[in-house]
A and B are shown apart, each in its own frame.
Chain A
């Protein structure tokens, strides 16, 4: 995890190091020469207008799409393959907008769906339940029991289950696509707290969001995409809303 003496952390290569990523869909240039870096213990926000290429970049990082050009390195090593399995084995976990949770299963079953712990050919329910309990505790989750059926959970609690599910594979980087869209304000408070928890667990986090207030609240760095290209990189603690909006829309900065 994070070491107290972080002089070394600055010198090492970032956790995620994407260089000159390009992706075309027919005549549509979704990504053109995009660079992005995420370090351990860092929250990077990816913002941009609709169709700026945010979700495409997230899908390239998650291994859903293979890039047409560029390199993607994690911990200094190239991805073993541009597949979701390859990305997962390299330590990249992704939560997409749809969450892909199963209504008829409980919290534990959802967290381990497709990655069940099997002991002597049987499901190890006890181990899974106790791990699920730990994940929820680490995230400060407000979910009564790991055996609660998913159907009983609020949208914020579901987001938490989806994040907890990414922790099963002991990831290094977590990619969250619009984690607070369609959440109420008290649920947003919970999800932003989960994101801060992931950061203090020493993970790298890449969030895609439209909400500049939420992003500036939890992100260390803000990267702007415009028409599939990098259009600005800001330190979250120093930047004004006006500058981010100018970079998103392509307006000259107000300064």
Chain B
């Protein structure tokens, strides 16, 4: 137990360090028995039992009896007395789910890979079953869920809670997503555009804290943005504000799935990126392109830089239109770092009004792939008057 000894300045600091390790194990596995905690942390069963007793008395964890290998066992979970929040993020190629307590601490988190053009009925059905399963796994019931927030990669009309533009997430337009899921689970549900939720997540919990005018760009399989104006999400008519994936970049370009010509995503959506490498590199996925670019493959780097230049052009125009002080980049492409960011910064510099001091800053987001889930949890919390931790942004 070399690690434990290093911390053993005193009896109490040792206990403190041990209880941190124990809480880490509970956070990682959601619910875990005391015997498994001992195995996962390397602490003795007696120590685990003692610390769990203290944490239970302090209201930090909850325990219940269960059966493991035919023996009685003590199942330990983080306490969430004030109810649960659920965040769902439907993307073009995955369903991301987070279950959190009312302090926005993730208790469970899952990513289900989905096919291209996945269907709304199948995906919503799987989302409902997944939520019920994860909540059940925490030893709770759906009655403890205060609210569910869903993010989707298309404009959502705030008045109806349905996707308002056809062709962007094919087959999903007009479906009352909140109603369908709410009826299934008996829980209030709210729906918004995923980039809007990413912006909100960053404003409340990440790199956007204290920034009242922000443009958050989510560059993934598609591209979208969330616009924060004077501290609030700006939805616009039918929720269309910030739908920069369908801004014009090439008047001679191909027809987009939305029906117009030369949209940003026809140049830098995942299909466009992968297609431009098909001749030279064979069939790749978006994740492959990013991995190879990081490993130094010149073709893949080129494709990411060109995507950055195209996004930068639109971002600079959007900055002139809405006046953010900071542009935050999120989504899978943001993980490419400078390869993507440098051409965006370059494009912003060329737009003189945007580049005058103090210039609009371009930064990577802080919450990474989870920004949209945090935003979904935040809007879920706002559904219930009982919670909501010092909201800095009102919807």
Contact = CB atoms under 8 A, between A and B. Distances in A.
Interface string A173-198: 00000000000111011101100100
B36 A152 contact: yes
A145 B39 contact: yes
Scoring B33, B68, B282 by chain A CB atoms within 10 A of each residue's CB, the highest score goes to B282
A216 interface: yes
B130 A216 contact: no
Contacts of B300: 4
B122 interface: yes
B291 to A, nearest CB: 7
Contacts of B112: 185, 188-189, 192, 217
A217 B115 contact: yes
A147 B36 CA distance: 9
Interface stretch (A6-14, A17-25, A53-61, A71-79): A6-14
Nearest to A184: B133
Interface residues of B, number: 45
Nearest to A220: B283
A235 B283 CA distance: 9
Contacts of B137: 186
A68 B37 CA distance: 52
A90 interface: no
A149 B33 CA distance: 13
Contacts, number: 92
Interface string B256-268: 0000000000000
Nearest to A146: B39
A145 B36 contact: yes
B281 A7 contact: yes
Contact of A148 (B36, B113, B114): B36
27 contacts: A6-B281, A10-B281, A142-B29, A144-B25, A144-B28, A144-B36, A148-B39, A152-B33, A152-B69, A185-B126, A185-B129, A185-B130, A186-B130, A186-B134, A186-B137, A188-B112, A189-B111, A193-B113, A196-B287, A213-B118, A216-B115, A216-B116, A217-B112, A217-B113, A217-B114, A218-B113, A237-B271
Given A147-B39, A186-B110, A217-B114, 20 more contacts: A4-B292, A4-B295, A7-B280, A9-B282, A10-B281, A144-B25, A144-B29, A144-B36, A144-B39, A151-B68, A152-B33, A184-B133, A186-B137, A192-B112, A193-B113, A213-B115, A217-B93, A217-B112, A217-B113, A237-B274
Interface of B: 25, 28-29, 32-33, 36-37, 39-40, 68-69, 93, 95, 110-118, 122, 126, 129-130, 133-134, 137, 271, 274, 280-285, 287-288, 291-292, 295-297, 300
